[in-house]
């Protein structure tokens, strides 16, 4: 049971379902399990190397040893430093050499990824939160759009899944719904609405193959949508987290100095860098350990539909079954 869409045809996969890139939760076993089950897993390079400790090419080979099905790579193309950019170019090249043919780009201009991928007939989708960014991505040559909505885990967008699909109408590219899907019925509803596929993050954390701490998985299963809040205090832009004692102490709005710095072009880079370094370290620790007094966990409002921790194969089978009579 599946549904063929422009997206499944481009990638040659069974089910229009993506296990989204997650810093720090994307361990290679999770990526491989999603692909092996007929969906597609996405490698988060910083997660693969910095959090899970694999040399990049060796990490990709580990996934290839676990499955022969296609998997993708997330390229966050913010030009925050030349060093990072050079490393990202190397990661994209190594991924292409290792047979990766699907890239999801975020933030900057995806053109250079599109051009490099084109040499191997690769497909590039770009994260967008509204039409303005979609038009820029299309100018950059992308083949599809990941529509990040206002209920997504990680960095959320501004529009509801329905409003965002309307906003992106008529652009002629496949559109993937990212955010708010945690159960098979919602998966089907988003496809029936007109999306070409769905990207899930939070739901895939609560699986046996994800290396996140069991307490984190249990907190996702337990949480209700009202427990999910957005805080700017971690990266400078709103991140979706489970409200706990630590988040209540930290607060959800940036302080006045940080806000001022984030508004101004020249200081924005520095403020983002400060947030990035501290939050990367904290996030790495908090996903893999139990929640102490100084920990927090990222999750989206899709927690509403998540009722247990299960193997990825079972999860994907249930999502496929929801399309039985379509």
Nearest CB to ligand FMN, comparing residues 124 and 299: 299
142 binds ligand FMN (CB under 6 A): no
Farthest CA pair distance, the chain: 55
For residues 256 and 216, give the distance between their C-alpha atoms in angstroms, rounded to a whole number: 31
Nearest CB to ligand FMN, comparing residues 77 and 320: 77
Cβ 26 to ligand FMN shortest distance, Å: 7
CA angle 75, 77, 78 (to 5 degrees): 140
Cβ 240 to ligand FMN shortest distance, Å: 7
Candidate ranges 51-59, 85-93, 151-159, 248-256; the one touching ligand FMN (CB under 6 A): 151-159
Candidate ranges 15-23, 78-86, 118-126, 244-252; the one touching ligand FMN (CB under 6 A): 15-23
20 binds ligand FMN (CB under 6 A): yes
For 293, phi and psi rounded to 5 degrees? Answer: -65, -20
CA angle 26, 18, 29 (to 5 degrees): 35
For residues 213 and 57, give the distance between their C-alpha atoms in angstroms, rounded to a whole number: 26
Nearest CB to ligand FMN, comparing residues 261 and 320: 320
Query: Could you say which residues in the range 89-108 bind ligand FMN, by CB under 6 A?
Result: 106
Nearest Cα residue to 78 out of 312, 321, 273, 280: 273
Contact 241, 228 (CB under 8 A): yes
Positions touching ligand FMN (CB under 6 A) are 20-23, 25, 44, 74, 106, 127, 148, 152-154, 178-181, 199-203, 298-300, 302
């Amino acid at each position: 049971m599946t549904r063929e869409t422009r997206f499944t045809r481009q990638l040659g996969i069974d089910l229009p379902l993506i296990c989204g890139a997650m810093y720090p939760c994307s361990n290679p076993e999770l990526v491989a399990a999603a692909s092996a089950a007929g969906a597609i897993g996405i490698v988060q390079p910083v997660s693969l190397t910095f959090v899970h400790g694999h040399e990049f090419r060796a990490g990709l080979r580990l996934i290839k040893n676990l499955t022969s099905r296609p998997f993708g790579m997330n390229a966050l193309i913010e030009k925050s430093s030349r060093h990072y950019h050079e490393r990202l170019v190397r990661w994209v090249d190594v991924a292409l050499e290792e047979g990766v043919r699907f890239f999801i780009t975020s933030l900057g201009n995806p053109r250079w990824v599109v051009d490099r991928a084109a040499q191997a007939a690769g497909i590039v989708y770009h994260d967008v939160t509204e039409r303005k960014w979609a038009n820029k991505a299309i100018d950059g040559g992308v083949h599809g759009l990941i529509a990040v909505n206002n209920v997504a885990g990680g960095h959320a967008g501004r529009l509801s899944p329905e409003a965002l699909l309307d906003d992106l109408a008529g652009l002629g590219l496949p559109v993937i719904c990212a955010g708010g899907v945690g159960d098979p019925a919602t998966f089907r509803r988003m496809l029936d609405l007109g999306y070409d596929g769905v990207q899930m993050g939070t739901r895939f954390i609560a699986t046996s193959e994800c290396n996140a701490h069991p307490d984190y998985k249990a907190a996702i299963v337990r949480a209700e949508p009202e427990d999910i809040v957005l805080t700017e205090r971690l990266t400078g832009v709103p991140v979706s987290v489970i409200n706990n004692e630590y988040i209540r102490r930290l607060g959800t709005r940036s302080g006045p100095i940080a806000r001022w710095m984030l508004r101004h072009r020249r200081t924005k880079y520095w403020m983002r860098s400060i947030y990035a370094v501290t939050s990367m370290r904290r996030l790495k620790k908090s996903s893999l350990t139990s929640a102490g007094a100084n920990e927090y966990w990222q999750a989206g409002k899709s927690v509403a539909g998540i009722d247990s921790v299960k193997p990825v194969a079972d999860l994907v089978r249930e999502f496929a079954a929801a399309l039985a009579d379509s």
